[in-house]
């Protein structure tokens, strides 16, 4: 059941890549998720991150991160591993072998959220990273 749901979500994510106005081709969407040259992650505010995680205004389709990820939903066991690591969706849909957490958040911005990536130097991206890191610490993979 859990697997089915994830497969359905991934199909939805592919559909949003195909139809997203900001990412008409897989190549564009993939490039948008790569850290720019000279990028230095900034310190983020996890409280702001938690608010943004629940904010459907971040997407163009009425979804928030929490629509899919509330209570650790829609994450695979890879979420338990330190970044960078392989995330199946980013690998299969964007050809990204490994992603950092900020890159994966951008991948969810352009695919399931059907939006533009957040500015790399924004406090919003840093805040989401800080909040998702917090979520990661309490995440229990299904297989040990």
108 binds ligand HEC (CB under 6 A): yes
Give residue number: closest CB to ligand HEC. Answer: 65
Whether 105 contacts 132, CB under 8 Å:
yes
**Residue ranges of E strands in the chain:** none
58 binds ligand HEC (CB under 6 A): yes
* Secondary structure class of 24 (helix, strand, coil): coil
Can you name the residues that pair with 85 across neighbouring β-strands? 99
List C-alpha distances in Å: 137 to 43, 115, 129.
17, 27, 12
Please choose, out of 9-17, 19-27, 31-39, 40-48, the segment that lies near ligand HEC by the rule CB under 6 A.
9-17
Residue from 29, 103, 112, 127 touching ligand HEC (CB under 6 A): that is 112
Sequence-distant (6+) residues with CB within 8 A of 51 are: none
CB of residue 127 to ligand HEC, shortest distance in Å: 10
| CA atoms within 13 A of residue 46's CA, in its CB half-sphere | 7
109 binds ligand HEC (CB under 6 A): yes
Cβ proximity to ligand HEC: between 24 and 54 the closer is: 54
Residue from 17, 94, 104, 110 touching ligand HEC (CB under 6 A): that is 104
114 binds ligand HEC (CB under 6 A): no
Whether 74 contacts 6, CB under 8 Å:
yes
Would you tell me which residues interact with ligand HEC (CB under 6 A)? 6, 9-10, 12-13, 58, 63, 65, 67-69, 74-76, 78-79, 87-89, 101, 104-105, 108-109, 112-113, 128, 132
């Amino acid at each position: 059941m859990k697997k089915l749901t994830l497969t359905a979500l991934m199909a939805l994510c592919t559909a949003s890549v195909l139809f997203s106005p900001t990412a008409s081709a897989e190549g564009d969407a993939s490039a948008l998720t790569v850290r720019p040259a000279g990028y230095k992650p900034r310190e983020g505010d996890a409280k702001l991150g938690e608010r943004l995680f629940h904010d459907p205004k971040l997407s163009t389709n009425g979804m928030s991160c929490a629509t899919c990820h509330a209570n650790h939903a829609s994450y695979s066991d890879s979420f338990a591993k330190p970044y960078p690591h392989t995330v199946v969706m980013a690998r299969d849909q964007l050809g990204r072998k490994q992603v950092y957490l900020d890159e994966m958040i951008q991948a969810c911005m352009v695919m399931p959220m059907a939006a533009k990536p957040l500015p790399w130097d924004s406090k919003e991206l840093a805040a989401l990273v800080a909040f998702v890191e917090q979520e990661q610490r309490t995440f229990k993979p299904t297989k040990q």
